[in-house]
Amino acid sequence: MSNSILESVDAAGDSTPGRTGTSAGTPASTIVMSMQQALNRALDEVLAENPKAVIFGEDCGQLGGVFRITDGLQAKHGAQRVFDTPLAESGILGMSVGLAMAGFHPIPEVQFDGFAYPAINQIVCQIARMNYRSRGTLPMPITLRVPSFGGIRAPEHHGESLEALFAHVPGLKVVSPSNPHEAYHLLKYAATRPDPVIFMEPKSRYWQKGEVNLAHGEAGAGSPTGAKVMREGRHLTLVAWGAMVARCLQVAELAAEDGIDIEVLDLRWLKPIDAEALAASVRKTRRAVVVHEAPLTSGLGAEVAQLITQSCFDTLRAPVERVTGFDVPYPSGDLEDEYIPNIDRILFGIQRVLEYKRG
Amino acid sequence: MAEISFPLPDLGEGLIEATVLEWLVSPGDQVERNQPLVEVETTKSAVELPSPQAGKVVRIHGGPGDKINVGEPLIVFEVPDNTAGIVGTVPKEEAPKRRVRLSAVLDED
């Protein structure tokens, strides 16, 4: 990808995004679990497979995390590898820098999206550029887990969408899973990268269950890089990530009742963005709507719209629409249903694209 | 079902223990989040501890007059697997509702 100058040499040689269509068949290694269970399992396996992997954060150890993502891991792998930290995000990420320099693979957790702000200096000024600054001698294999986005009626700082902020920083990769299967495979992949990855977990989807095919590779999960078509369609592409993918899939079902055949593209990687997948989908459908929870202005929807416009200008039937949160601080739980794009707002966005007339 | 232990939290600067005055719940009780669990006394004051979560009480530690150190188990809850975290709620899975209908004449070229 274009930011290869910032990337470490990847031992697996696998940094090229590739697309994976919806898989067919149900292999024997498929089990049903929640995203919380899938993430827990992935972390358990990472700890078992990589003796240098360490997990830490506020309440990650004894309690097992406020969302139970690290449940049971301290008991199984020991308090030297899974441990609690003080309430000090800058310290959590600063410690990650030192551990990475010493050859560890830190998997820190920032307990909630809005708690990442105190750690921005460590993330932006150290983690993102240490490899670059040191001419590749000090890679930062850090997987920062951030329970992200809204939808759980939580207080301030517990429902924010920071993907555009992270994606803007050279040296960081950003990914968000949309379901348990993606969560398992993307976390296992992210936790083996030689570069820092911001792993944004959609906390409103932690408890929904889904099929997870544990097998790796083309026979199982397919490629862990790039975007993924979650539903094929002919008339319009909905682009989303995280919790909005499930909502867009619902919208696609409803649109089908009206005779509109919608493709849903789960972007998965928000940095680097799979521009080829966007192009391939929208060249087919000729219409696109981007959906995200984050505020509109300078949100990642703008980047997606530009990438689509760049590759599909001649075929687009309408300007790319954005259906997003509003340009306000994330509201309290009572108001979040008004803030997060709901089914009707997404349908309105689709309708605006469908009825657009040139000239 | 899963068991979740709630240790005695740090009740104030420098306090390392508390004495149980009265339990307000018993094993077998179903408690709600923020429901008072127990009254304890520290060297500074007597306080009621609210429940950090909903769940069924499995065990309580210490009777009236017993001292419990900060960080030691206070109460154990039984909760269904895959329940909400300590912060926030589990979104309800509802059938999608709509008011907007789509209408378009699509040129199928």
Among this protein's residues, is A168 annotated catalytic? no
Q: Which of A163, A189, A213 is the last residue of a domain?
A: A213
A54 sits in which H/E element? strand A53-57
Residues A43 and A183 in one domain: yes
- Position A143 in a domain: yes
| CA A121 – CA A108 distance, rounded (Å) | 15
Residues A52 and A181 in one domain: yes
How confident is the model over A31-82, as pLDDT tens digits? 999 999 999 999 999 999 999 999 999 999 998 999 999 999 999 999 999 9
Residues A157 and A256 in one domain: no
- Position A20 in a domain: no
Q: Which of A147, A181, A213 is the last residue of a domain?
A: A213
User: Among B87, B5, B90, which Cα is nearest to A35's?
Assistant: B90
Q: Which of A162, A189, A213 is the last residue of a domain?
A: A213
Residues of A at the B interface, defined by Cβ within 8 angstroms: 34, 36-37, 59, 62, 65-68, 71, 112, 151-155, 158, 203-204, 206-209, 235, 250-251, 253-255, 258-260, 333, 343-344, 347-348, 350-351, 354-355
- For residue A208, what are the domain limits? 33-213
- Position A94 in a domain: yes
User: Among A256, A179, A267, A260, which Cα is nearest to A229's?
Assistant: A267
Mean pLDDT by 10 residues, chain A (359 residues): 46 40 58 95 98 97 92 96 97 98 98 95 98 97 97 92 98 98 96 97 95 80 92 98 98 96 98 98 98 98 98 97 97 93 97 90
Task: Mark yes or no for CB contact A34/B100 under 8 Å.
Answer: no
Task: Mark yes or no for CB contact A207/B106 under 8 Å.
Answer: no
Cβ neighbours, 10 Å, residue A72 = 13
Residues A323 and A237 in one domain: yes
- Position A243 in a domain: yes
Domains in chain B (CATH in brackets) are 2-79 (2.40.50.100)
How many interchain CB pairs under 8 A, A with B?
A: 77
Local structure of A338: helix, strand or coil: helix
Residues A184 and A306 in one domain: no
How confident is the model over A130-169, as pLDDT tens digits? 999 999 999 999 999 999 999 999 888 999 999 999 999 9
Local structure of A81: helix, strand or coil: coil
- Position A359 in a domain: no
- Position A8 in a domain: no
Domain count, chain A: 2
Residues A155 and A285 in one domain: no
Residues A275 and A130 in one domain: no
- Position A13 in a domain: no
> Which entry of A77, A158, A235, A292 is annotated as an active-site residue?
A158
Q: How far is A105 from chain B (nearest CA, A)?
A: 26
CATH number at residue A99: 3.40.50.970
